[in-house]
Amino acid sequence: MADPRFHIHAGTRTLEEVARAGGAEILRGDPAFFLTDVAPLDQAGPGEIAFAEGRRNRDALRATQAGAVIVAAAMQADVPEQAAVLLARSPQLAFARIAGLFHPPPVPRPGIHPTAVVGEGAEIGERSEIGPYAVIGEGAKLGPGCIVGPHAVIGPNCVFGAGCRIHAQASAYFCLAGNGVVLHQGARVGNEGFGFVPDPSGNFVTVPQLGRVVLEDRVEIGANSCVDRGAAGDTVLGAGTRTDNLVMIGHNVRTGRGCIIVGQAGISGSTVLGDYVTVAAQAGLTGHLSIGTKARIGAQAGVMNDVPAGMDVLGSPAMPARDAMRGFAAVRRLAAKKVSTDRTE
């Protein structure tokens, strides 16, 4: 189903290979049956594998033409007779792993493009690819197997570990990055933080931003997102953390492991997130807050106070989700009452 002009295709795989890759169990079907690709449930053909999860997909599952389907045990009876059945605790997770089997990430084409600029003392690891017009600053270090896309910039003395991908027009300055870090198109890492102090005459005096950005292993920064360097200490994104596109991370922010920060969210300076925090789209967090482990910040929430571990918050100003929902319901009731009153006058 994936367009081979844009996506690497690793060839056909047997049902047994697919099940092993997805951590799934073959409930029905020939382990030697060949599958050609993954596909959406409603578009999959006889040689393709899809997944179904949740009641809203039940009708599409019953009508699918897929050659194999990944489901949880509760939906196995809904799979059409022609399809092989793979059982998985999380069908979507199994599907993601199987999709990676058919479509592995790009492999570097080792070499430095003639138009690229590599500064004095820079070290580029073996099997790395440096694309057209990329710039690698003096003293920068790239580990083995990195890909630096067209017009990307790695600033002087920055360090990236093995297997990093810096996509087209991304830039990184004052940055130390671990292994498997990804900067998507146009990401800006290591910018000067937004720090200034007014003097007696009302002019702004810039506070020198003397810290760094530390991206731990497997951090991904979305397209056109910005991560400012620290003012005195560092801005740190914990291992496995991912930002969506158009995200703003202020100076001295520190996140734990596995945090998710969704599009157009903004986190102001010196706020600290615990492990596995979710910040939904367009949420805004003021500075110097503490957000506890596994807290979830709802879309468009305005967070002005600390959030305890495990708490869900909504609204602006943000409040516990249950309180916010009661408030929303009360507003709807008042609005309905006002409309009813107006009509009787």
> Could you tell me the domains of the chain?
13-102 (3.40.1390.10), 170-313 (2.160.10.10)
Q: How confident is the model at residue 196 (pLDDT cuts 50, 70, 90)?
A: very high
Count the neighbouring beta carbons within 10 Å of the beta carbon of residue 331.
10
Q: What is the average per-residue pLDDT within 126-142? A: 98
Judge whether residue 104 has pLDDT over 70: yes
Active site residue 9: no
Distance CA 266, CA 286 (A): 9
pLDDT, tens only, 32-85: 999 999 999 999 999 999 999 998 999 999 999 999 999 999 999 999 999 999
Phi, psi of 150 (to 5 degrees): -60, 135
pLDDT, tens only, 204-256: 999 999 999 999 999 999 999 999 999 999 999 999 999 999 999 999 999 99
Q: How confident is the model at residue 340 (pLDDT cuts 50, 70, 90)?
A: low
CA distances from 74 to 40, 61, 77, 80, 122 (A): 20, 13, 8, 14, 56
The kind and range of the H/E element at 321 are helix 321-344
User: 3-state class of 330 per DSSP?
Assistant: helix
Distance CA 157, CA 122 (A): 8
SS (H, E, C) 6-51: CCCCCCCEEHHHHHHHHCCEEEECCCCCEECEECCCCCCCCCEEEE
Q: How confident is the model at residue 337 (pLDDT cuts 50, 70, 90)?
A: confident
Q: How confident is the model at residue 334 (pLDDT cuts 50, 70, 90)?
A: confident
Distance CA 268, CA 274 (A): 15
- How far apart, in Å, do the first and last CA atoms of the chain sit? 61
Q: Tell me whether residue 21 is exposed, middle or buried, using C-beta atoms within 10 angstroms of its C-beta: 0 to 12, 13 to 18, 19 or more.
A: middle
User: 3-state class of 341 per DSSP?
Assistant: helix
Catalytic residue among 7, 151, 251, 288: 251
Could you tell me if 213 and 176 are in contact, meaning their C-beta atoms sit under 8 angstroms apart?
yes
pLDDT, tens only, 140-195: 999 999 999 999 999 999 999 999 999 999 999 999 999 999 999 999 999 999 99
225 Cβ contact partners less than 8 Å away, ≥ 6 residues apart? 184, 187, 188, 243, 244, 245, 246, 247, 248, 249
